[in-house]
């Protein structure tokens, strides 16, 4: 009689998460709260992370996040090192995207880029802007002619912190940046709410952040369905992070109590203004 051989098998239980297809999202390695930023451990955080994680959970996929310098994201997408890029826009980097076929989602969140000035300077004409603070790599849309003619001189900074410092010291006449992000920094990090305010009378740009992909149009289509079917969930995240706070007013990014305070200050200043000497 032959001996009976017992074979032992180790059984691995695969959870749905383990079986899920994983995609790599290329994200910007810079502080851009409340939209997104990296924490002290290098983890991607903010509104964008919550929206994308909610999409992954809803779709049964897994997402990992790869933070890269902004100028390295598009080449990484082209080489297939990342599957998705956020944020992106069909209106960005036209020359670098020549020859590429990219697929864009519907708008995830709207934004405004413009100039923040000291409150007493709000409403002044473009001709009064002589020095403009900028972060390296940004393009001041609407100011190109004034810059080319020499009317406006640019003062470049390495980051948002340095740029805001220049504007607060009045070394420049204003600072050009994403208005919600700059306001969030002033309110929550610099602790100087209202020290600089958006000037809607000056040139500014409105746009939207999108998710893009070169190789996965089907994934972009699934993300669009998520945005439509989970619109209430996305809207709640927008409200929680205030990424579109007062986007259609002069007080973009400010909390309502600060808006009310500034309006009262305006009314008080108007009531104290001297009467006109004209008959």
What is the DSSP code (8-state) at residue 177?
E
Q: Domain containing 128: what range?
A: 22-247
Q: What is the pLDDT of residue 12?
A: 42
Domain-located, residue 268: no
Q: Is the pLDDT of residue 275 over 80?
A: no
Domain-located, residue 7: no
Tell me the two tokens of residue 177.
């940046």
Q: What is the pLDDT of residue 279?
A: 32
Q: What is the pLDDT of residue 137?
A: 86
Nearest to 220 by CA among 110, 65, 84, 89: 84
| Predicted confidence (pLDDT) per residue in 199-254, tens digit | 999 999 999 999 999 999 999 999 999 999 999 999 999 999 999 987 765 666 55
Phi and psi at residue 236, in whole multiples of 5°?
-65, -40
Q: What is the pLDDT of residue 193?
A: 87
Burial of 232 (0-12, 13-18, 19+ CB in 10 A): exposed
* Distance (Å, whole) CA 186 – CA 108: 24
Could you tell me the pLDDT band of residue 276, with boundaries at 50, 70 and 90?
Answer: very low
Q: What is the pLDDT of residue 194?
A: 87
Domain-located, residue 274: no
Domain-located, residue 98: yes
CATH assignment at residue 73: 3.40.190.10
* Distance (Å, whole) CA 17 – CA 193: 43
Residue with tokens 């204003």: 174
Q: What is the largest CA-CA distance in the chain?
A: 125
Domain-located, residue 118: yes
What is the DSSP code (8-state) at residue 127?
G
Domain-located, residue 32: yes
Dihedral of alpha carbons 102, 107, 109, 110, sign: positive
| Residues linked to residue 207 through DSSP beta bridges, in sequence order | 111
Q: What is the pLDDT of residue 201?
A: 92
Domain-located, residue 17: no
Report how many domains make up the chain: 1
- Between the alpha carbon of residue 91 and those of residues 176, 177, 238, the distances in Å are 19, 17, 23
Q: Which segment of 82-91, 115-124, 132-141, 185-194 scores lowest on mean pLDDT?
A: 185-194
Domain-located, residue 36: yes
Could you tell me the pLDDT band of residue 19, with boundaries at 50, 70 and 90?
Answer: low
- pTM of this structure: 0.82
> Which residues, 6+ apart, have CB-to-CB distance to 50 below 8 Å?
237, 241
Q: In the chain, pLDDT over 70 holds for what percent of residues?
A: 81
| Predicted confidence (pLDDT) per residue in 119-170, tens digit | 999 999 999 999 999 999 898 999 999 999 999 999 999 999 999 999 999 8
Phi and psi at residue 61, in whole multiples of 5°?
-120, 175
């Amino acid at each position: 009689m032959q001996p009976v051989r017992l074979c032992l098998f180790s059984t691995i239980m695969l959870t749905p998460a383990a079986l899920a297809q994983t995609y790599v999202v290329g994200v910007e390695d810079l502080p851009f709260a409340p939209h997104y930023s990296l924490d002290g451990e290098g983890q991607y955080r903010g509104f964008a992370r919550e929206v994308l994680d909610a999409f992954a959970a809803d779709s049964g996929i897994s997402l990992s996040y790869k933070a890269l310098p902004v100028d390295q994201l598009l080449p990484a997408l082209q080489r297939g090192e990342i599957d998705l890029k956020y944020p992106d826009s069909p209106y960005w980097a036209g020359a670098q995207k020549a020859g590429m076929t990219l697929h864009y989602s519907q708008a995830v969140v709207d934004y405004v880029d413009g100039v923040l000035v000291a409150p007493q300077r709000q409403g002044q004409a473009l001709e009064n802007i002589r020095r403009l603070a900028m972060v390296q790599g940004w393009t001041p849309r609407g100011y190109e002619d004034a810059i080319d003619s020499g009317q406006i001189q640019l003062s470049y900074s390495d980051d948002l912190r340095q740029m805001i410092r220049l504007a607060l010291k009045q070394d420049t006449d204003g600072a050009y940046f994403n208005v919600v992000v700059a306001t969030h920094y002033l309110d929550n990090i610099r602790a100087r709410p209202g020290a600089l305010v958006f000037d809607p009378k000056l040139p500014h740009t409105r746009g939207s952040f999108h998710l893009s992909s070169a190789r996965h149009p089907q994934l972009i289509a699934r993300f669009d369905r998520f945005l439509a079917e989970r619109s209430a969930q996305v809207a709640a995240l927008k409200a929680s992070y205030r990424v579109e706070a007062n986007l259609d007013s002069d007080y973009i990014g400010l909390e309502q109590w600060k808006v009310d305070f500034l309006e009262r200050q305006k009314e008080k200043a108007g009531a104290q203004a001297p009467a006109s000497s004209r008959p």
